[in-house]
Each structure stands twice: as C-alpha cells, then as structure tokens.
Amino acid sequence: MSASSPANIIIAYLGPPSSYTHQATVDSFRAPKYTLRDELSIRDVFDAVQSSSASFGVVPFENSSNGAVLHTLDLLIDREEAFPDIHICGEVFMDVQHCLLGYVSQSFSSDNKDLQSSGSSGSATPTSSIPFPKEPRSKPMTDLRHVKRIYSHPQAFGQCEAFLSTYLKGVERHEVSSTSKAATIVAEDRDKSGAEAAISSRLAADVHHLAVLAKGVQDVEDNTTRFLIIQRGPVCHDIQNLLPEKFQMTNGFRLKKKALIAFNIDHGTQGALANALLVFKKHSLNLTSINSRPSRIRPWHYIFLVEVEGEREFDDPDLLHLALQELDTVTEGNKWLGCWVDRFGVNAGQ
C-alpha cells in the first residue's frame, strides 16, 4: 500500500516511542486513520518524507526557553540538496515538563530523608561567568549521589541547566538523539546500579519502568516546544486533504497563516540584509523570527531563515508570488519552505 493511501496514512516522527515528538504526534494524528512510525533521528524523518515512505513527518523546531533546534534548521536549509521537496505544512505546540529518570540507589535510600546530603546545598554555585546563577525550580525526590552519567537530547539539557548545575554538577552528560532514546539507554543499564539517569518525560518513565527521581526539572514553568509537520511537495498539493482538518489551509480562509523562507545575500553589499527584510514589510508580511546558519561555503557567510505571518496574503497566491519575485531581485537565492495555519495558543490535541 502506498504511503498516501487513505486507509494507511503514515506519519514518521522522531522516536523512539515516548519522545516528546511522539506525544505531539499522537495528539495530532489519531488512529485508525493514521499509522505512526518512529525514526531514530530528525534526518530519518526528513528521509522518510522525501522518499514518500511516509506522507507526513513530525520534527521538533524550537523551544520557548532554549531556542531553535539547529539540526532541524540545517535540514530545512538543505545545503546538500538532499531534501528538495520538503515543505512545512503544520505546527503543533506542546507543554514540556522534564523529569529526571533512573533508579533509586539501595545504598543511599536509607538516608534520603535529608536530600541536602545529595552533595548539594540546593543553590547553584556562583562562578565568574555566572555570578548570579538561576535557582532550580524543583528538588530531587531522592538522593542522587549514585548518578554518574546523564543522558538526554541537547535541547533538554539546555532547558534544565539550573537543576543540573545545582544537583548534578560535574556529572558526565551524554547527548543522544532524543529524550526517549536516553530513557531506553538508562533502562538497559543491566546491573541497575543507578549510575545512569535520563532527562526525559513522565510517559517515558512508565514505558521504560524507570523511577522518577525529580519532576519539573526544566528552568521555567512555562516550557513549550513547537513541532513542525512536513510533507513532500508544496502545500497546495492534494496531499493537504490527508491532514487532520485543523491543519488544512483551506479550512481557515482568513485564519492567520505563517511561512518560512530561507535566503542568502551578498554579504559584501551594504544594506543587502535590510533590503531583503524590507520586501516582507512592503508586502504586509509580518516578520516574527529570524535565524541564521553558517553557509559552509565561505566562513562567516550565513543563510537566513525568516518566519512571516499574514492573513490575506496567504489566501491570494498572486500576492505571495509578487513578494517572492521581489525577493529574487535582492537576494542571491531563496527557498520557500512552506506555509501553514498558525496554531499558537492552541495545545497539541485541540
């Protein structure tokens, strides 16, 4: 059966199961209409969609406290031209509450009434570069002296700095492809000595039979990750009808829409970047973010990614066409990466 047959719409997502991407995907693409397939890396999700072995893919894009997922940006700008047909067709916002998962140590559990004996005062140590470190929001629920290695996705480490630098200072960190992969590794710790722990989700604790050693370990209470839905081909393509209704562009005439565009400019021309940005202003496309990634062609030369939002402009292809034509005249090259219905303020599942 082909990936886009109505009875079998395959959605590839960054796994293994119980990753945050999985949770965002389950909430948006419900069985039996959709079949979810986990992939080991964000690149594998792009590959699955580009090769049409999946109709859609779900990947993390940015976090409200730690910023862009660089790996996703790099795959979108596609320096190697491996993903020429990938377009964004939707977004999902999800609240992310991290936990520290592992094992409760038998040797330390008897004296865990006093958690300060975990070797920490509960305050982060000031250093010359960070004289006033952020206080962690939560305390461990058990002694952590047995933890020698922590596994997680780099984004999750970035979101939990205060807790880690207070209660697990100097403990080796291992970056892996997702938080659920981290939980899988810890669950495989054969002697259950508790030397390994993962920053992962509450769901991953249940799936992998791990103990929750601390809850809500991210630096900020309101910690939201935005995920992108990707498809093969431009958004006007028939494949849009296979998406859940809330993501379909035609569903919301006059709904706010967003788009992502990548471009490069002649860095030697004065005002080149400003001129490119002015095109969006002129065409009433409100710029909401700008990211840059090294071009890897010349040092200190960047590819820019801008996100724009608008209403009428997206419902009239001629208006967009005009804006892009004008962008052609002030950039050295640009790539339309898709447009989608704005879901800001709407949680996954709604």
Ligand X SMILES: O=C(O)C(=O)C[C@]1(C(=O)O)C=C[C@@H](O)C=C1
What are the residues binding ligand X (CB under 6 A)? 14, 19-21, 60, 63, 69, 96, 153, 155-156, 178-180, 225
Min separation Cβ 214 and ligand X, Å: 16
Instruction: Please give the structure tokens belonging to residue 323.
Output: 């804006």
Q: How far is the CB of 69 from ligand X (least distance, A)?
A: 5
Residue 205 CB, nearest approach to ligand X (Å)? 13
Give whichever of 18 and 231 is closer to ligand X, judged by the CB atom: 18
Residues near 110 by beta carbon (within 8 Å), at least 6 away in sequence? none
Give least dist CB 178 to ligand X, A. Answer: 3
The answer to whether residues 325 and 331 touch, using CB atoms and an 8 Å cutoff, is no
CA atoms within 13 A on the CB side of 188: 7
Q: Which of 228, 229, 227, 230 is nearest to 85 (CA)?
A: 230
CB-nearer residue toward ligand X: 105 or 155: 155
Closest to 45 in 3D by CA, of 182, 303, 232: 232
Q: Identify which of 230, 260, 226 has the alpha carbon closest to the alpha carbon of residue 21.
A: 226
CB 169 to ligand X: min, Å: 22
With beta carbons less than 8 A apart as the criterion, state whether 20 and 179 touch.
yes
Least CB distance to ligand X at residue 63 (A): 4
The β-bridge relationship of strands 257-264 and 302-310 is antiparallel
Cα distances (Å, whole numbers) of residue 138 to 100, 122, 205, 219, 290: 11, 9, 18, 9, 33
Q: CB count, 10 Å around CB of 67?
A: 13
Separation between Cα atoms, residue 302 and residue 133, nearest integer Å: 32
Rounded to the nearest whole angstrom, what is the least distance from the CB of residue 75 to ligand X in the complex?
A: 12
Q: Residue 127: is it exposed, middle or buried by C-beta count within 10 angstroms (0-12/13-18/19+)?
A: exposed
- C-beta closer to ligand X: residue 43 or 153: 153
Nearer to ligand X, 96 or 162 (CB): 96
- Least spacing, CB of residue 223 vs ligand X, in Å: 8
Q: Give 198 or 259: the residue with its C-beta nearer to ligand X.
A: 198
